[in-house]
A and B are shown apart, each in its own frame.
Chain A
Amino acid sequence: MADATVNAVTTQAKRARPAPRSRLRKFFERKSTIAFFMALPLILLIFTLVIYPAFYAIYLTTLNKRMTATAWMKNCTYLPDWICTYIPFGNLQFLLTRETFWMVFWQSCLFAISAVIFKALIGFVVSHFVHNVPSKGQRKWRGMLLVPWVIPAAMSTLAWQWLFDPSYSAFNWILAQFDIERVSWTGVAHWARFSVILVNVWIGAPFFMIMYLAALKSVPDQLYEAAEIDGANWWQRIWYVTLPMMRNIIAITALFSTIVTFANFDIVRILTAGGPLDRTHLFATWSFRLGIEGGDIPLGATVSLFMVPILAVAAAFILRDVTRRGNEA
């Protein structure tokens, strides 16, 4: 009888204890698993539209012009033949010998660096103006100043094309009213370069402005008050308070903008198509010219990927610096 009672108690105890959960169920209940599955559609999208095309582009760079065999390197100066002839970057080796390639490289650097500097300067100045506008009217100014950035770049570049038109330029019409000689905006190399940089600055400056404005708003007023009590003038307040507080935003904005500006396509394509005499080609437009219009897809892919390692290294340094400063804070 006692045995029977003990058995009954044990059975009841077993029933009362919750059943052990399976490992699979545990796995699915983990927060990280749920997060992964929720992000999965985006991961698949990025894989399909970014990662796969990127690796495919790398594969294309290793092919010969007819895309029937690998483009091995040959006659390397710095490597023995038994290594050189097994490196599949024959297209890159060929590009490095071309005068036009180095011109495009130089132009891309000029375009990206000068455009980013001007965008940053204009964004910085305008963000201070907007920051000082009374909060009642500030919204309207913010909205209006964002217009160039919000309009699709291709559309606004078409409007600029009309302003710079070789024969019917609206700017030239204005110059003519003051008896100033007409300017061949897109017909002479230096003016054409100026024109494409100007349009890029016009489109991109509002992005800097809005980022800097957000950074300015997060600077505590107490810091300025303390600086003022210490007798700091306008310039010292900017140099010792504003700039250090905005450093991270300035670095990240400049980095992203540099990457996007290096990869710019639409402005040059619409405004000058790379001319005159290839003097406004950037990597993207020259890649399109070689790969799609010229039918040499491997060479076009090589041009388009040339900047990836350089930009990746620059990005790594800047982001490392930003993280380090974040940790210090």
Chain B
Amino acid sequence: MAKKRITRRQFVAGTMASTAVIGMPYVSSAQSAGKLAVGLWDHWVPGANDASKKVIDAWAAKNKVEVTVDYIPSQGNKNLLTIAAEAQAKAGHDIIAMPTWWPHAQSDLVEPMNDIMGELIKKLGNVNGTSEYLGKLGDKWLAVPATIGSQLKGPCSRIDLMKQHAGIDIQALYPAGGPPKADSWNFDTFLKAAEACHKGGKAFGIGLGETSDSVDTAGAFMQSFGAALVDAKGNITVKSDAVRQWLEYSVKLAKFFPADAPAWDDASNNKWLVAGNGALIMNPPSAWAVAKRDAPQIAEQCWTHGFPQGAKGRFAPFLPYFWAVWGFSKNKSAAKQLLVAMSEPDAIASFVAASGGYDIPNFDKMTTLPTWANEGPPKGTLYHYPNPHNHQTLSITAAPAPPKIAQQIYVQATPTKMITRHLQGESMEKTLAWAESEVEGFLR
């Protein structure tokens, strides 16, 4: 049997054709097909998942792609377990929703998103600094900042109690529909208000536990002092003057927190507000939404607004979610196309509306949607929630340390532990020495 020999020309032509097919961008057409598995965060707001399903289904029908969507809850860290398992197995969803630190933690395994991020930034405006810090490694975009799940944990004050106990008209400082007039809303005012409300039996509901809400607040205060435990270059800066000033202020403030604040978790502050126990909590509007359902008379008195001004600025904790495409996905181009569709202005507006204003887009031009202005009661209560006037710097605890180190500081709740240790009588130097030793371990 004679063997058929391949000529040089045939070989070159074959190689070029197969390279072109493999590298060909995804082109939507009637013939386009394939499968996509998407793992999204399971939204706690009833009905919010329907909005994303609608956008995905419309895109799938138009592009003839078979898309399956799994909504993965964050309760019990199910989403983190899924990410870890898929990273180990190198199999699973094509697109996966990753909270805060996870694009960096999985940076070796995710597909770069530079090609679509350029297009999205052009259309939707710049990405806020925190999303860029968490979503970008050098010049490489690791994931697309997602609207669904991204949140800001600013103060939510009781209008009546702040007036009654601290003499502060929070609506005058943060008027609905207009820019903030909050120059007087600074750390001194905040401390005095905390003391006054504590004396009045309506303490600020701020926790000192090891969960996200407590850590986010402590971190925002730290940044407002210009303090950091590790700088952007990875140097330990625990024993700096700024850290000392922050710790001193935080302990003064923490004396006016509830006595059991070190045991608080992410539900404690919500319960504090809904039960009518306190004048202020630091939370996205989820607590207000629960109050609207369970204690409407309290919801009517809630006003979400900005952080107080510190010596080095006004920082507010922002926790973005991201949509990442795994490097092992077999349909990357379709996955990216779907992410572009999910980042269209109409899609973003529908996600924000479905979440009752909880979700915040990460792009500049998308923070003035009508949902926040219209939500109530009282009407306009969420107007300042997405930081529409760039009144404060969005930040995350432990920034600007390199994200893989910052993640350890955040997860181990080093800032709140420092406050608690010093609050419970440990000397400042001892607390700083302990923190320095902890951070040394995170640098390994």
Residues of chain A having any CB pair with chain B under 8 Å: 65-66, 68, 94, 98-100, 166-168, 184-188, 192, 272-278, 289, 291-297
- Establish whether residues B102 and A275, one from each chain, have CB atoms under 8 Å apart when the complex forms: no
The residue of chain B having its C-beta at the shortest distance from the C-beta of A98 within the complex is B441
Chain B residues closer than 8 Å to A100, beta-carbon distance: 438
Complex CA–CA separation, A275 to B412 (angstroms): 11
What are the interface flags for B392-411 relative to A under an 8 Å C-beta threshold, 1 for contact and 0 otherwise? 00000000000010011001
- Interface: B333 (CB within 8 A): no
- Establish whether residues B438 and A167, one from each chain, have CB atoms under 8 Å apart when the complex forms: no
- Expressed in whole angstroms, the minimum distance between the Cβ of B281 and any Cβ of chain A is 12
The answer to whether residues A275 and B210 also contact, given A66-B108, A100-B438 and a CB cut-off of 8 A, is yes
- Establish whether residues A274 and B84, one from each chain, have CB atoms under 8 Å apart when the complex forms: no
- Interface: B263 (CB within 8 A): yes
- Interface: B271 (CB within 8 A): yes
The residue of chain B having its C-beta at the shortest distance from the C-beta of A99 within the complex is B437
Given contact pairs A275-B209, A295-B102, a sample of 17 additional A-B residue pairs in the complex whose CB atoms are under 8 Å apart? A65-B404, A99-B437, A166-B264, A167-B258, A167-B260, A167-B268, A167-B275, A168-B275, A184-B259, A185-B263, A186-B263, A272-B263, A273-B209, A277-B262, A289-B412, A292-B81, A295-B407
Secondary structure class of chain B's binding surface, majority of residues? helix
The residue of chain B having its C-beta at the shortest distance from the C-beta of A279 within the complex is B262
Complex CA–CA separation, A153 to B434 (angstroms): 35
Complex CA–CA separation, A98 to B408 (angstroms): 14
Give the contacting residue for B80; candidates A68, A186, A277, A292; CB below 8 A: A292
The residue of chain A having its C-beta at the shortest distance from the C-beta of B259 within the complex is A184
- Establish whether residues A187 and B444, one from each chain, have CB atoms under 8 Å apart when the complex forms: no
Chain B residues closer than 8 Å to A272, beta-carbon distance: 263
- Establish whether residues A166 and B260, one from each chain, have CB atoms under 8 Å apart when the complex forms: yes
- Expressed in whole angstroms, the minimum distance between the Cβ of A229 and any Cβ of chain B is 59
Residues of chain B having any CB pair with chain A under 8 Å: 77, 80-81, 84, 88, 101-102, 105, 108, 209-211, 258-265, 268, 271-272, 275, 277, 404, 407-408, 411-412, 417, 420-421, 434, 437-438, 441, 444
- Establish whether residues B438 and A168, one from each chain, have CB atoms under 8 Å apart when the complex forms: no
In this complex, the member of B108, B210, B261, B407 whose beta carbon has the largest number of chain A beta carbons within 10 angstroms is B210
- Expressed in whole angstroms, the minimum distance between the Cβ of B419 and any Cβ of chain A is 11
20 pairs across A/B with beta carbons < 8 Å? Answer: A65-B444, A66-B108, A98-B441, A99-B437, A166-B260, A167-B258, A167-B272, A167-B275, A168-B271, A168-B275, A187-B260, A187-B262, A188-B262, A273-B265, A277-B420, A292-B77, A293-B411, A294-B407, A295-B84, A297-B84
Complex CA–CA separation, A66 to B109 (angstroms): 11
Chain A residues closer than 8 Å to B437, beta-carbon distance: 99
Chain A residues closer than 8 Å to B105, beta-carbon distance: 295
- Expressed in whole angstroms, the minimum distance between the Cβ of A91 and any Cβ of chain B is 9
Complex CA–CA separation, A187 to B257 (angstroms): 13
The residue of chain A having its C-beta at the shortest distance from the C-beta of B434 within the complex is A99
- Expressed in whole angstroms, the minimum distance between the Cβ of B71 and any Cβ of chain A is 20
- Expressed in whole angstroms, the minimum distance between the Cβ of B152 and any Cβ of chain A is 22
- Establish whether residues A184 and B209, one from each chain, have CB atoms under 8 Å apart when the complex forms: no
- Establish whether residues B210 and A274, one from each chain, have CB atoms under 8 Å apart when the complex forms: yes
- Establish whether residues A166 and B263, one from each chain, have CB atoms under 8 Å apart when the complex forms: yes
In this complex, the member of A94, A100, A167, A168 whose beta carbon has the largest number of chain B beta carbons within 10 angstroms is A167
